[in-house]
Amino acid sequence: MQDKYRLRWCTKSRTSIPVAKPKLSFHLSKPIPIEGRREWGLFLLFSLLLFAIMLGWHYYNYIQFVSSKKLFVTADVLLHYPKEKAGRHYQVLKLETSDGLTFYTTSKELLKPLQGRNISLLIFPKKVTFKDYLTTPYIPSVILRVNYQKSLRMHLFDYLGKVHEHRWMQELFGALFLALPISKELRERVTRLGVNHLLALSGFHMGLLWFMLYTLLSWLYKPFQQRFFPWRHRLMDVGLVTLLLLGGYLVFTGSPPSLLRAYMMVVIAWLALLFGLELFSFRFLALCVVILLALFPSLLFSIGFWLSVSGIFFIYLFLKWTTQWPKWAIFIGLNLWVYLMMLPVVHLFFGTFSLYQLISPILTVLFSFFYPLWIGLHLIGWGDVTDQWIVALLHWAEGGVVVYETTPLWLLILFITLALGAIRWRIALYLQFGLALGWLIYLIQKVA
């Protein structure tokens, strides 16, 4: 009996002593696509080799192209406008052939409006340089005839002309949906509002299209997945279909450089998500840029491509230093930040500035809501619902003072240096912000 009580006492005494449980604390971080100097060196070496191969292939095609004194081609007229220079009047046409060559040509004849039409012409490419061939060259030509057939892209442009009574609206939605260029008249008003980036299909549009398509397809896919194949990965299946649809849209619009960059980043991001890699990093952005330049050397001379890359870089930079901010503050601050940071970069190429551009961040936020709405309205035949407000906004931007001021090269070099330093040091971020703000104040006082 005593042993029994002794056993109970021992058991109780043992359990009454608090035992300290070890606390395990660890942080899981996503791996990055390429780590280490050796891996980056091999990647850059491979990319350089691929770049040389692709450049050589383009040069071979260029030699074949300019070796002919004249070529017979058919092309869609993307843009057609009159121009005067040194007392001479002539017509300017921006054309795109069926094999993807985009070029400018002129005609001294008084032509009827040809935008959206398909024409046959003789071109004389002998004086085209290799650099021009990689961009959008000027090629002398003789227009032979206007064809009756039209591409699907141009048929849709005609449809927009029937939906919208105002010519500006046909051009505006032609740019938004079909990646067609807009007239000088409309571009001047869009530039005054500071919303050129909204009409040039880029990562902003690609992100919205991905979100819309992926959400819709996921909604359709989910019931079948739950019932018939619950083991399938939705991101893999729905993501692949979404990428195929977006890829078809990219080809359909003629693969503009900014949209091509955005699509390739979406593809790489999708693969990175499947493998659990880190997305929001500057190394990921560098990886995408190097791959794109290796595959498409012509992007090296594309202003739109570099502006698009700059925008993504500044977004990453903002998100790096605002991880503790509430989501609503990030949403508001991000638009203001990108607008301010892009000013010195954009003004290196496009120097137009007006006070109307100060509402650009607000219009950008509104656009993210209206872009999906406009797509839906055009699908059901109500695409002209908002035309009167858009036209009124464009007319409102006609007044006011406009100045032309380009960014000095020394200021841009300093700004880029601070931007790169801001990846690591917060003080560089503050200096970069101060420099961009100072440039904005300088532009405002020039207008005032």
Domain CATH for 139: 2.40.50.140
Residues 240 and 143 grouped into a single domain: no
Between the alpha carbon of residue 255 and those of residues 46, 202, 270, 363, the distances in Å are: 25, 10, 20, 26
Q: What is the dihedral of CA 203, 209, 210, 214, to 10 degrees?
A: 170
Residues 275 and 128 grouped into a single domain: no
Q: Which domain, by its residues, includes 409?
A: 189-447
Residues 85 and 205 grouped into a single domain: no
Residues 367 and 224 grouped into a single domain: yes
Q: Which residues of the chain have pLDDT under 50?
A: 1-17, 19-28
pLDDT score recorded for residue 31: 61
In a domain, 13, yes or no: no
Residue 121 DSSP SS3? strand
- The sign one gets for the Cα dihedral 82, 85, 90, 96 is negative
Residues 146 and 193 grouped into a single domain: no
In a domain, 422, yes or no: yes
| Residue 354 structure tokens | 């007006």
Cβ–Cβ < 8 Å for 383, 375: no
Between the alpha carbon of residue 122 and those of residues 68, 72, 143, 266, 318, the distances in Å are: 11, 5, 7, 39, 51
CA nearest neighbour of 71 among 92, 111, 98, 93:
98
Residues 323 and 221 grouped into a single domain: yes
pLDDT score recorded for residue 141: 92
CA nearest neighbour of 391 among 144, 137, 186:
186
Residue whose token pair is 């979100």? 211
Residues 109 and 255 grouped into a single domain: no
In a domain, 39, yes or no: no
| Residue 176 structure tokens | 């938004």
Cβ–Cβ < 8 Å for 175, 156: no
Rounded CA separation 177/208 (Å): 13
Residues 233 and 359 grouped into a single domain: yes
359 DSSP assignment: G
| Residue 249 structure tokens | 């849209």
Residues 423 and 348 grouped into a single domain: yes
In a domain, 367, yes or no: yes
Which residues of 221-380 form beta strands (DSSP E)? 352-353
Using only C-alpha atoms, what is the Rg of the chain? 28
Rounded CA separation 225/7 (Å): 59
Residue 142 DSSP SS3? strand
pLDDT score recorded for residue 5: 45
Domain count, the chain: 2
Angle at 279 between CA 277 and CA 282, to 5 degrees: 120
Rounded CA separation 234/374 (Å): 28
pTM: 0.83
pLDDT score recorded for residue 33: 64
Question: b/e string for 339-353 if b means 16 or more Cβ within 10 A?
Answer: bbbbbbbbbbeeebb
Question: b/e string for 145-168 if b means 16 or more Cβ within 10 A?
Answer: eeeeeeeebbebbeebbebbeeeb
In a domain, 156, yes or no: no
Which residues of 16-117 form beta strands (DSSP E)? 71-85, 88-97, 102-107
In a domain, 44, yes or no: no
Q: What is the dihedral of CA 244, 249, 251, 253, to 10 degrees?
A: -170
Residue whose token pair is 């449980």? 21
Rounded CA separation 294/132 (Å): 19
Residues 80 and 221 grouped into a single domain: no
Residues 99 and 193 grouped into a single domain: no
Residues 68 and 131 grouped into a single domain: yes
Q: Examine the fold and report which residue of 121, 150, 179 is the final residue of a domain before the chain moves on.
A: 150
H helix intervals, 31-149:
37-66, 130-134
Rounded CA separation 155/424 (Å): 51
Q: Examine the fold and report which residue of 93, 121, 150 is the final residue of a domain before the chain moves on.
A: 150
In a domain, 276, yes or no: yes
H helix intervals, 105-166:
130-134, 152-163
Q: Examine the fold and report which residue of 128, 150, 172 is the final residue of a domain before the chain moves on.
A: 150
- The sign one gets for the Cα dihedral 14, 16, 18, 24 is positive
In a domain, 199, yes or no: yes
pLDDT score recorded for residue 82: 87
